[in-house]
Amino acid sequence: MPFKSGLELTELQNMTVPEDDNISNDSNDFTEVENGQINSKFISDRESRRSLTNSHLEKKKCEEYIPGTTSLQMSVFNLSNAIMGSGILGLAFALANTGIILFVFLLASVTLLSIYSINLLLICSKETGCMVYEKLGEQVFGTPGKMIVFGSTSLQNTGAMLSYLFIVKNELPSAIKFLMGKEEAFSAWYVDGRILVVAVTFTIILPLCLLKNLGYLGYTSGFSLGCMVFFLIVVIFKKVQLSCPVLEPSAISPIISNVSSAHEDMCQPKYVTFNSKTVYALPTLAFAFVCHPSVLPIYSELKDRTQKRMQMVSNISFFAMFIMYLMTAVFGYFTFYDNVHSDLLHNYQSRDDILILTVRVAVIFAVILTVPVLFFTVRSSLFEMAKKTKYVLYHHVLVTLVLLIFINMLVIFIPSMKDIFGVIGVTSANMLIFILPSSLYLKITHQDTEKFTQRISVCFSILNSPCDLQGALSALPEPALLLSCLRVFFILQ
């Protein structure tokens, strides 16, 4: 059968790449064709007519578009602050138990995998239109997906906040005792770490957590990053100042103070190491890079947001953190070698060094100002699970108070920060970096491939067997492609 001249190219293009804005006009084209006896049920549902071969138009959007107000620079600060945290204090310990070569390989691998997983997360968000992680999990995997995402993000962020407040609990009493000129054994109630954690929580953290928008924390995030840069500078300076800590016990308190040839061997770097503590390295690295629960909230508030702009925010933040992590781990290890602690700050115990006291206070302020960024994500996850997305001041304040009280209770009773790194790094960190983004992406792309294949096969079935049109139509529930197929069918006739 010959094609009608001048129509075949246009009609075939309309079948393969239909324009979204013209879909609503399809009903006008086909309701006028009465000889074809096209049933109006195929064109009655406007939402169904939006189902196209373009995969990003096939998804039913989760929510309306709400423009963001946070600049790209502030978004970089917030994401970098979400990445940076107490994990930086354990990297030198991880290097000491893996060796320089293995550590650099693991650090680079986790960095690249984290960037890639965020890219997958942004693709999934664009495909589904979901700007909330829990909604994204529900859109792809249903209620189980929503529960898994909620559990992983809440566990990760809660563990991170616990580790930050744990630093406050351990470090702030020593700083106050030094400023007061008291000995370390001094034990008044106002230098009790548990009381200080509660005081810091309700005087500094609570007001920041009560803010309505995450974008307001960009300034505090910038200050927090500045404190961590100062910490890195001091770590580098101490390495330059001291060639080997066991040879200069007066400057930094080492574990071993007797000078011998064996001690000189302890100040030789190791390039590849395997021991019983090596297993802590990967969980510590994973914990140090997890910021995925904060990506979508930061993305939703990004001004003029696009996937490309948010990917730029991600790349800048991760590259900066990779450099800071690597330099902190290397210089911290080259200062203490095998004597490095799981918390690098514990190696700097000189009571006569004002610089050390200053950097301890800087790190304390840095982790305090990081807590609200993660707290926003935990609170929004709870509201999403409760289906209370509209801002209500009473609920906002009540949930904030309850969560902070709960987190403080956990901080008081957790024995060691290493336990936090291990548990969170093995569970939620791996889930958020390696498993969830790839699973969501594979599920979405698999669905798109199945739908595209089904549509093409049905369309060809209509064209090849017009006599069996009714059976082919029953296999195709999506009227948009059906109309395109029918258009070609009538042209061929």
pLDDT digits (tens, 9 = 90+) for 316-329: 999 999 999 999 99
- Distance CA(166)–CA(268), nearest Å, equals 32
Summarize the confidence of residues 351-367 as an average pLDDT: 84
- Which tokens go with 486? 């029918």
Count CB atoms within 10 A of the CB of residue 460: 12
pLDDT band at 340 (very low <50, low <70, confident <90, very high): confident
Please tell me which residue, 182 or 146, carries the higher pLDDT value: 146
- Distance CA(298)–CA(280), nearest Å, equals 30
- Distance CA(322)–CA(289), nearest Å, equals 9
pLDDT band at 90 (very low <50, low <70, confident <90, very high): confident
Question: Do the beta carbons of residue 451 and residue 58 sit within 8 Å?
Answer: yes
CA dist 490 to 30, 35, 47, Å? Answer: 11, 10, 25
Domain segments of the chain: what residues?
A: 8-57+451-492, 68-446
pLDDT in tens, 193-222: 889 999 999 999 999 999 887 777 888 888
**pLDDT of 474 above 60:** no
Count CB atoms within 10 A of the CB of residue 213: 13
- Distance CA(303)–CA(296), nearest Å, equals 13
pLDDT in tens, 43-89: 344 444 333 334 343 444 565 567 778 888 888 988 888 888 767 88
pLDDT in tens, 443-455: 888 765 655 556 5
Would you identify the CATH topology of the domain 68-446? Amino acid/polyamine transporter I (1.20.1740)
**pLDDT of 309 above 80:** yes
**CA angle, residues 453, 459, 465, in degrees to nearest 5:** 130
Summarize the confidence of residues 161-181 as an average pLDDT: 84
**CA angle, residues 123, 129, 130, in degrees to nearest 5:** 90
Residue recorded with tokens 């503590």: 277
Q: Which amino acid, one-letter code, is at 361?
A: V
**CA angle, residues 237, 241, 244, in degrees to nearest 5:** 115
- Which tokens go with 440? 């969501």
Q: By C-alpha distance, which of 244, 277, 253, 328 is closest to 96?
A: 277
- Distance CA(187)–CA(245), nearest Å, equals 30
Summarize the confidence of residues 113-126 as an average pLDDT: 90
- Distance CA(6)–CA(117), nearest Å, equals 48
What is the 8-class DSSP label of residue 432?
A: I
Mean pLDDT (the chain, rounded):
74
Summarize the confidence of residues 323-347 as an average pLDDT: 87
pLDDT confidence of residue 104: 93
pLDDT confidence of residue 426: 61
pLDDT confidence of residue 457: 61
- Distance CA(400)–CA(391), nearest Å, equals 13
pLDDT confidence of residue 146: 87
Q: By C-alpha distance, which of 164, 188, 168 is closest to 177?
A: 188
